[in-house]
Amino acid sequence: MAEDDSTDEVPKLPPDARLESLDERLNRVQRREAGKTAKEQGDASTRAGRVVVNQLVGGPLGGGIVGWLLDRWLGTAPWLMLGLMFVGFAGGFINVIRISNKPRGKTPDGQG
C-alpha cells in the first residue's frame, strides 16, 4: 500500500478580505514602528548628553551626601563631605571619559 502524498499539501483558499485588512494594518504598524526607531536613533546624542550631565552632577552630589552623613555620625565635619565630593567629581569625569571613548552606535547606558 502506497501512501498518497497529496494529503500533505494545504489546499488553496480564496482570498479573504479580513486577512487582507489584517495585512494592511500590520504593514501600517510596522512602518510606524520603523519611524519611531529611526527617531530614537537620531536622539542618541541627546541621550549621551543626559548621561554625561547625570554623571557630572550625581557623582559629586552623592559623594557629598554620603560624606555629610558620615561627618555627622563621626563628628569630622566638613572633611569627609569634601573628600567624598571630590571623589564623586573624579568618578564622574572618569565615567564621562569612558562614555566619550565608546564607539558610535552604542548607547551610553549600554542598551543597544
What are the DSSP calls for 12-37, one per residue? P----HHHHHHHHHHHHHHHHHHHHH
Please report whether residue 85 resides in a domain: yes
Checking if the pLDDT of 97 tops 70, the result is: yes
Residue given cell 564607539 in the structure block: 103
What pLDDT, on the 0 to 100 scale, is given for residue 60? 95
Please report whether residue 87 resides in a domain: yes
Cell of 98: 569612558
Total structural domains within the chain: 1
Q: What is the mean pLDDT of residues 65-74?
A: 94
Domain range spanning residue 55? 48-101
Checking if the pLDDT of 59 tops 90, the result is: yes
Which has the minimum average pLDDT: 8-12, 17-21, 81-85, 105-109? Answer: 105-109
110: three-class secondary structure by DSSP:
coil
Q: What is the mean pLDDT of residues 54-67?
A: 94
Q: How far is CA 58 from the centre of its chain?
A: 18
What pLDDT, on the 0 to 100 scale, is given for residue 56? 93
Neighbours of 44 (CB within 10 A): 15
Please report whether residue 30 resides in a domain: no
Please report whether residue 32 resides in a domain: no
